[in-house]
Homo-oligomer: A and B are copies of this chain.
Amino acid sequence: MTTDVPHKRLFLPGPVEVAPEVRAAMSTPMIGHRMSECSDLIRRIRPKLQQALFTKNPVFLGTAAATGFQEACFRNLCAQRALSAVCGAFSERFALMGQANGKPTDTYAVEWGQPNTADVIGEKLASRKYDLFTMVHNETSTGVMNPVEEIARVMRDFPEVMFCVDAVSSLGGVKIEPDRLGIDVLFASVQKAFALPPGFTVLAVSERAIEKAKTVKDRGNYFDFVEMREYDKKDQTPFTPSIAHMFALDRQLDRMLKEGVENRFARHQAMQQRAHGWGREKFGLFAKPGYESVTLTVFRNQNRFEFKALNSHLSATRGLVIGDGYGKIKGSTFRIGHMGDATLGDLNEVLSGIDEFLAKH
């Protein structure tokens, strides 16, 4: 620790707790990014990451928060007009990337708590005005998980549209198969279900997306898929990457594959059921039934308590913290992240702490 503040265990919707041995890998003595040791590291990571992401597509290691790759989708893949599905704060940010980068963008927005549905997306794309569709799989502000399988079926009718899925807070905790679903860009922040320290993004990009990018002007350089692919062929990255994160990712992928990705998904499912069963009864969930996130839960507070008082209690009695509501539902909701390496036992401790608090308030 660099400070005297005792560590609080994180049950936020990210960053989440990082296993001691994965944290330790962040301290690995440094190597040069053009040394063979670094290419070896990339060659170790690649097949494991492809296995964890169910893809044979190129996978890239991004030294940036996932927000940078929201921007990358527009800059690399939109030459015409984008349709962005919006259902909360982070999908709204994804849509705003269009405007911020001078790309004509229409939004399909639903009320917070509702999902974006395949039928509406199909209707909108039927105008044939679009060459990019963006969506967030797991909206971290509302706890809604969008029906990506159904949406993918509709997307089959629009091969001219690049299909970009932000799975920032679900990838690694929920099965998403980009190759089978025809997803062109799938990306995740690593501080969520991958349980690594933040500041790094993993992504799978289809070859057809890379071909499309080659035709898009003014796509910039730092997030250029074409350049990433060129260096990827040499087992390198275009710029000096966060090598510490790569050491940690290598270690964490070993742990994920040792547990087994399907077992990992089952563990996330079990935590979801526990959190939702507990929360439905006591608070009600914010997400529309049938569309609840697997990796985090947004509970309705119903003005029963001040969130700060709850978190102070959890911190003082259990040494842990959960998340406040986000954006316009801050205060009226609160959030628990149950993802990454967290176990049902961990989650039970969180819920017991909240029960204890409620009994006193």
Contacts and interface: CB of A to CB of B under 8 A. Distances in A.
Contacts of A33: 15, 198
B25 A199 contact: no
A272 interface: no
A247 interface: yes
Contact of A26 (B27, B40, B41): B27
Nearest to A103: B218
Interface string A226-269: 00000000000011111111010011000000000000000000
B32 A27 contact: no
A240 B217 CA distance: 29
Contacts of A23: 27-30
Size range of the chain A interface in the assembly: 35 or more
B15 A29 contact: no
Nearest to A38: B15
Interface string A98-127: 001110000000000000000000000000
Interface string A184-200: 00000101000001111
A30 B222 contact: no
Nearest to A224: B100
A2 B221 contact: no
Nearest to A199: B242
A16 interface: yes
Contacts of A96: 221
A37 interface: yes
A2 B240 contact: no
A64 B24 contact: no
B35 A321 contact: yes
Copies of this chain, count? 2
A132 B251 CA distance: 44
Given A100-B221, A189-B240, A63 B28 contact: no
B18 A199 contact: no
B2 A31 contact: no
A219 to B, nearest CB: 7
Contacts of A359: none
A7 interface: yes
Interface in A337-351: none
A88 B239 CA distance: 16
Interface of A: 1-3, 5, 7-8, 10, 12, 14-18, 23-33, 35, 37, 40-41, 63-65, 67-68, 70-71, 75, 93, 96-97, 100-102, 189, 191, 197-200, 217-224, 238-245, 247, 250-251, 321, 323
Given A5-B40, A27-B27, A30-B197, 13 more contacts: A1-B28, A10-B30, A10-B31, A35-B321, A63-B63, A67-B238, A68-B68, A71-B221, A71-B222, A97-B220, A102-B218, A199-B199, A199-B245
19 contacts: A3-B41, A5-B40, A8-B37, A10-B32, A12-B32, A14-B240, A15-B30, A16-B30, A63-B63, A63-B65, A64-B64, A67-B239, A100-B218, A100-B224, A101-B218, A101-B220, A198-B240, A199-B200, A199-B242
Q: Can you list the 7 inter-chain pairs with the closest CB atoms, starting with the nearest?
A: A199-B242, A102-B218, A65-B239, A68-B222, A7-B29, A26-B26, A23-B27
